[in-house]
Structure 1
Amino acid sequence: MNAPLNPEQLRSFTPLNVLSEQQWRELRRQLVPQPLLAGQLLFRHGEQTGLTYYLLAGELLLQTADGQQQRLLAGSAASCHPLSPSLLRLHEVRAATDASLLAVDTATLDRLLTWRLAYQDLLLELGQKHADVEWLERLLQNPLFAKVPPSNVSSMLERLQRIELAAGTTLLREGESGACCYFLESGRAEVIRGAGSEQQVLAELEVGACFGEEALLADRPRNATVTLLEEGVVLRLARQDFFSLLKAPVVAEVSLGEAARLLAAGSQWLDVRLQEEYERGHASESLHMPLQLLRLKARLLDRARTYLCYCDSGKRSASAVFLLAQLGYTAYVLRDGLDVLPAVQRDALLCESGSGYLARSGGRTERSG
């Protein structure tokens, strides 16, 4: 297999040339030249694919639906732009000579470009102040920031308190109250629940991770212990700043009526209550993922699907939506939870009892009992 191309080899391609070094690293596995033999068809007119193509070497023949033809030569000004980039291809493209192409996932590229263009002014401003722009880019790659306006991010950065910590430091302790959340600027941290033989490692946090937010969203004690595995730096964000700058734009709420419309369009209920609560009564075909296990089980969900989270008060489901946003899922919270629903609506919603439904690998849904 050919070696991946480096950024310098791709600087002439638009709009790839606006991506950052961090974003190039994310695309690295896709930056591999693909051969196309003379006479071989790349795609037909009207075809829809999820790839964006660039010509690296050789010559292509492009033909429109009415038979008009043009040749595209690698290295020309026209070859610096994507091939027939519309959703439905406007050309049939075939190799006139042996050629080499770059194929990049269109959805990934769109996400990176949208992020880059939204935050480029902020990154430029911080770079002029000699701030650690690379760390900020890693932080902002967290999918939850796709929903946070740049002005909120700027305000958040001004309010963060930087704390240096030694390896082995326990920053959060299970059962304690929470008045803030944190971002990991450097080092590694471990998330653990329970003690002794009941101890369970939930996750190892990477640079840019947000943690400690669940206690704020649920207004409950910390549900896990976070310890630094090596020397590191964290940034502390106070409760009120978290709510106004991050929660408000990230945790979207829906009414029961709005949820019904989303369900009709293919969304699914996600019950984040305890097992006993779920078994007593749950929404029709709702998946069950208790909040305390969601970080572990979320990988089983379908990224192409929208999830509607519910619990009694709405606080646990708000935590679930915030966590799912960080993991790149689309989710909404049932506004104010089940407790505010009239008895008739609540009984109609929680119409099933028993062990219910579980998510399996690949987003499949199975009856658990």
Structure 2
Amino acid sequence: MISAEQLQRFIPFGDLSEHALEELLPHFELIRLTSRSLLFKRGQQADYCHYLLQGSIDLIDDHFDVTRQHSEDEGNVLAIDADHSIHKYSAVVVDDCLIARLPRRSLQLINTWIDVALAAASDEETDWLEALLTSDLFSRIPPGNIQTLLARFDERPVTLGDILIQEGDEGHECYVIKHGKAVVTRSNGKQEETLAALGPGTLFGEDALISNLPRSATITMSSNGTVMVLSKTDFDTLLKIPVLEYVDNEQLNELIEDSDTGIIQLDVRPTQELIKETTSRARNVPLTHLRSHLDTLNRDFIYVVQGDNRAEAAAYILSEAGFEVKVLR
């Protein structure tokens, strides 16, 4: 198996903590090749990233120009010909080589988590239970519910590349990361948009349970780890019902009339559904964009959310982020 010391000379692994590297090592495969062996061929799908640990190879382009790469070269810090999903070169072994390879998708997940989190994971992971219980959301749950809730979680081991939630699927469970890291992505036409990097103590997947709408994003593990899983039934009973508050139109008017605090109405339906509704007093922030707009909202105000079955999901997200919020029936 490749060692952490060997791995750290290559980008981006030099930025990872020792703990993160140790988790990653089992995903590498070591390959020994003799002189004149073909590592990969031009035009082939680049499913793996190859790192040259020992020996030398020739990279041959479509004009048959040759570039030689030695393991001891100062520039040998990147995967071989890994800039594109299709190989631009053929790689032929010159001297007997030792190659470490990693699935390309795994490297993409690792890089994405680092980029979004803006830092590598620390050697000591955040305590998941402490992070969960000290969140704004849990301050609104009766203490008795918390004890029952923790007993209802099922522990599940996961590995790098596991898809926990698939965009478009129906939701039956929500999750908390106990150990490890994950990446949140959403399809944007033919491209994949990265939305967030998740770490220990993060609760996710609850939006679809509340709204009964399909999953709005894909969540993929970017390391090995453990997740705690909660069923929809337990989530509704122990988390959703205690957190959400409701008002009708009459109560909303009384709230606006009598409250010393500013009231802001949010409509979380997709913008295209509201084009003909020119009389609404509510600000439109579609549910799919709400998390990215949280920093534009003011915690000094009370938010009243409307938008059919999306309203409860939006109210839950706001409560989780520490806002005072009510659902308009």
Q: TM-score, normalised by structure 2?
A: 0.58
Aligned 8 A contact 2:136 2:320 in 1: yes
1:170, 1:224 → 2: CA distance?
11
Counterparts of 1:145-156 in structure 2, within 5 Å, are: 145-156=138-149
Say yes or no: does 1:175 pair with 2:168: yes
Partner of 2:272: 276
- Seen in structure 2, the aligned counterparts of structure 1 residues 228 and 139 have a Cα distance that, compared at 3 Å, is same
Deviation at 1:283, TM superposition (A): 5.7
Gaps of 5+ in 1: 1-132, 336-369
Partner of 2:324: 330
1:215, 1:135 → 2: CA distance?
22
1:240, 1:173 → 2: CA distance?
20
Say yes or no: does 1:253 pair with 2:246: yes
Say which of 273, 291, 307 aligns to 2:303. 307
Deviation at 1:134, TM superposition (A): 4.5
Partner of 2:283: 287
* Richer in helix (by share): 1
Counterparts of 1:138-217 in structure 2, within 5 Å, are: 138-194=131-187, 197-217=190-210
Say which of 294, 298, 312 aligns to 1:298. 294
Identity %: 35
Secondary structure (helix, strand or coil) at the match of 1:199 reads: strand
Deviation at 1:278, TM superposition (A): 2.2
Say yes or no: does 1:316 pair with 2:310: yes
1:174, 1:200 → 2: CA distance?
12
1:269, 1:237 → 2: CA distance?
31
Aligned 8 A contact 1:142 1:208 in 2: no
1:270, 1:328 → 2: CA distance?
16
Aligned 8 A contact 1:269 1:283 in 2: no
Deviation at 1:275, TM superposition (A): 0.7
* Richer in strand (by share): 2
Structure 1 residue ranges, 4+ long, deviating more than 6 angstroms after superposition: none
Deviation at 1:263, TM superposition (A): 2.5
Counterparts of 1:1-369 in structure 2, within 5 Å, are: 134-194=127-187, 197-264=190-257, 265=259, 266-281=262-277, 284-311=280-307, 313=308, 315-335=309-329
Q: Which has the higher relative contact order, 1 or 2, with Cα contacts under 8 A spaced 6 or more apart?
A: 2
Deviation at 1:282, TM superposition (A): 5.6
Q: TM-score, normalised by structure 1?
A: 0.52
Aligned 8 A contact 1:138 1:208 in 2: yes
Deviation at 1:316, TM superposition (A): 0.3
Partner of 2:106: none
Aligned 8 A contact 1:202 1:295 in 2: no
Secondary structure (helix, strand or coil) at the match of 2:275 reads: helix
Worse overlay, 204-213 or 189-198: 189-198
Partner of 2:88: none
Question: How many residues are aligned here?
Answer: 202
- Seen in structure 2, the aligned counterparts of structure 1 residues 263 and 198 have a Cα distance that, compared at 3 Å, is farther
Aligned 8 A contact 1:192 1:224 in 2: yes
1:317, 1:210 → 2: CA distance?
19
Aligned 8 A contact 2:175 2:230 in 1: yes
Worse overlay, 169-178 or 282-291: 282-291
Deviation at 1:195, TM superposition (A): 5.5
Aligned 8 A contact 1:142 1:209 in 2: no
1:300, 1:282 → 2: CA distance?
23
Aligned 8 A contact 1:167 1:231 in 2: yes
1:317, 1:294 → 2: CA distance?
11
Q: Aligned AA for 2:316?
A: F
Secondary structure (helix, strand or coil) at the match of 1:162 reads: strand
- Seen in structure 2, the aligned counterparts of structure 1 residues 202 and 273 have a Cα distance that, compared at 3 Å, is same
Deviation at 1:273, TM superposition (A): 0.6
Deviations 1:160-186 (CA, angstroms, capped at 9, x unpaired): 000111111111000111111111112
1:198, 1:215 → 2: CA distance?
23
Worse overlay, 134-143 or 325-334: 134-143
Q: Aligned AA for 2:299?
A: R
Deviation at 1:290, TM superposition (A): 0.1
Aligned 8 A contact 2:128 2:202 in 1: no
Secondary structure (helix, strand or coil) at the match of 1:222 reads: coil
Q: Aligned AA for 2:227?
A: V
Deviation at 1:135, TM superposition (A): 3.1
Q: Aligned AA for 1:307?
A: Y
